[in-house]
Amino acid sequence: MNSLKIGISIIISSLIIAFGLTNIITPERSVSVRGLSEKEVDADLAIWNMTFSTGDNNLSSLQQSVISKTQTVKKYLKDHGLDENDFTVQPAAITDNSLNSYMDQSKLRYTFIARQTILIRSSKIESVKSAYADSLNLVSSGIAVLQEYDGKVNYEFTKLNQIKPQMIAEATENARTAAEQFARDSNSKVGKIKKATQGLFTIEDAAPGLEEKKNVRVVTTVEYLLK
């Protein structure tokens, strides 16, 4: 009889404990949503490796040609609204074709070729854009500006830190809006933030051929508790 009572007591105690744990350990309900923020901005920095080449059979004459043409280019840039602080003349790279065993020396026009680059780095976007567009005019001065890949103007946006807080707040607000929509659909209410992850900011051209306009984008992932 005592054994029966003890057995019943154990069963009842187990049920009470199980019931209590069920009420204590309630699984958290949550929803994970994403919030997007996009902003179109103007590029604030233009970078242009303005490069031209010139040749001669005499090093001294080549040097004078490089100096003269560089002065012409500097004046051209100033005429387009740039000043000395906006560009830097890089050391000229000189190639001695007579040392190239793979070239037919009898067909060489010039023994020496100088490649001169003026690095333009300026916040004067319109001035750089205009100088680049008009660079064909330098042909009349015997200067052919190279238009290869690294000779194009690159436009950058450098003031990301100024718009970061606003965009993060907007992305988080959009995430909450999505969470509230989910909560309404599931007869719940949005609670506190359980976890939040900020995605990387991306800066891309606003459209092909529109490099001076940039599209800044960030996606924030937020997990909200549901009530």
| Sequence ranges of the domains in the chain | 27-42+159-226, 45-156
Superfamily name and number for 45-156: Protein of unknown function (DUF541), domain 2 (3.30.70.2970)
Residue 88, Cα to own-chain centre: how many angstroms? Answer: 24
| Confidence class for position 11, pLDDT limits 50, 70, 90 | very low
* pTM recorded for the entire structure: 0.78
Q: What are phi and psi of 68, to 5 degrees?
A: -65, -45
Residue 70, Cα to own-chain centre: how many angstroms? Answer: 32
Q: What is the pLDDT of residues 156-207, one digit of tens each?
A: 999 999 999 999 999 999 999 999 998 898 898 999 999 999 889 999 999 9
State the pLDDT at residue 99: 77
Has residue 148 got a pLDDT over 90? Answer: no
| Confidence class for position 97, pLDDT limits 50, 70, 90 | confident
Extract the tokens encoding 202: 């991306």
State the pLDDT at residue 55: 95
Superfamily name and number for 27-42+159-226: Protein of unknown function (DUF541), domain 1 (3.30.110.170)
Coil vs helix vs strand at 171: helix
| Confidence class for position 13, pLDDT limits 50, 70, 90 | very low
Q: What are phi and psi of 64, to 5 degrees?
A: -65, -35
Q: Which residues touch 4 (CB under 8 Å, ≥6 apart)?
A: none
